[in-house]
Chains A and B, each alone.
Chain A
């Protein structure tokens, strides 16, 4: 049972345009959400997070939006750059600690120069 789903296994975006990566979750106990980025042969690296008390968090080119009623979050990257090409994982955890982080299946983002 996949509690965190990323329904697009891959996405291609032109350099300079906006990349939108989507994530859906089913467990209503989740209230803290994170995005990780993974290059080949490297471990995932933390990108940005959002608590359920917010609906938006912004860090430079990266913005995460959370719609709790729809159990949906999205990551916006603007403008997209070639170095953004990687696999992006959405992750979620219930309140009380980030021990039990549940990852989504990942979306491979390719930025076309």
Chain B
């Protein structure tokens, strides 16, 4: 199983809503990532979890709250978002062990629209 599964594929929410994006992998990877991609822009790193601990937060606003309940799951909790937060949110995982392994496995993404 070399898949990273993201749900939901599409999400529309109002600025006062609370919602969550979910990501799951069963490859035994110990590093998981959230990336944000706006139209015609490259993916931008948001958060990295390694061994279920938050290792990188790229100065992401607190209205985005990541959670790693276990080594297979990664959530992104959303609250009080702005319309400019509308984007494709990509989850990825890797078998990173502190050396350059290179390959990130990406999910298909969750397309978020904030009204």
**Interface residue? B59 (CB, 8 A):** no
By a beta-carbon cutoff of 8 Å, the part of chain A in contact with chain B is: 4, 9, 32, 34, 36, 41-46, 49, 51, 89, 93, 95-106
C-alpha spacing A48/B107, complex, angstroms: 18
Q: Is the CB of B42 within 8 A of A105?
A: yes
Interface range, B side: 20 to 34
Write 9 A-B pairs (CB below 8 A) sorted by A numbering.
Answer: A43-B4, A43-B90, A43-B109, A89-B43, A97-B96, A97-B99, A97-B100, A99-B48, A100-B56
A34-B102 contact, Cβ under 8 Å, with A43-B109, A99-B56: yes
Q: Nearest CB to that of A31 among chain B residues?
A: B100
Q: Is the CB of B43 within 8 A of A98?
A: no
A101-B104 contact, Cβ under 8 Å, with A43-B4, A106-B42: yes
* Partner of B102 from A42, A95, A98, A106 at Cβ < 8 Å: A98
A99-B103 contact, Cβ under 8 Å, with A42-B108, A89-B43, A104-B42: no
Q: Max chain A CB contacts within 10 Å: which of B43, B96, B98?
A: B43
Q: B92: which A residues are within 8 A, CB to CB?
A: 43
Q: A-facing mask of B72-113, CB < 8 A → 1, else 0?
A: 000000000000000000101010101111111111110000
Extra 17 A-B pairs, beta carbons < 8 Å, given A97-B98, A101-B104: A4-B42, A42-B108, A43-B92, A43-B106, A43-B107, A45-B106, A46-B102, A49-B103, A96-B99, A96-B100, A99-B56, A99-B96, A100-B48, A101-B45, A102-B45, A105-B41, A105-B42
C-alpha spacing A100/B43, complex, angstroms: 12
A95-B100 contact, Cβ under 8 Å, with A43-B4, A89-B43, A106-B42: yes
Distance of B22 from chain A, by nearest CB (Å): 15
Q: Nearest CB to that of A46 among chain B residues?
A: B103
Distance of A29 from chain B, by nearest CB (Å): 13
Distance of A5 from chain B, by nearest CB (Å): 10
A103-B43 contact, Cβ under 8 Å, with A43-B4, A97-B99: yes
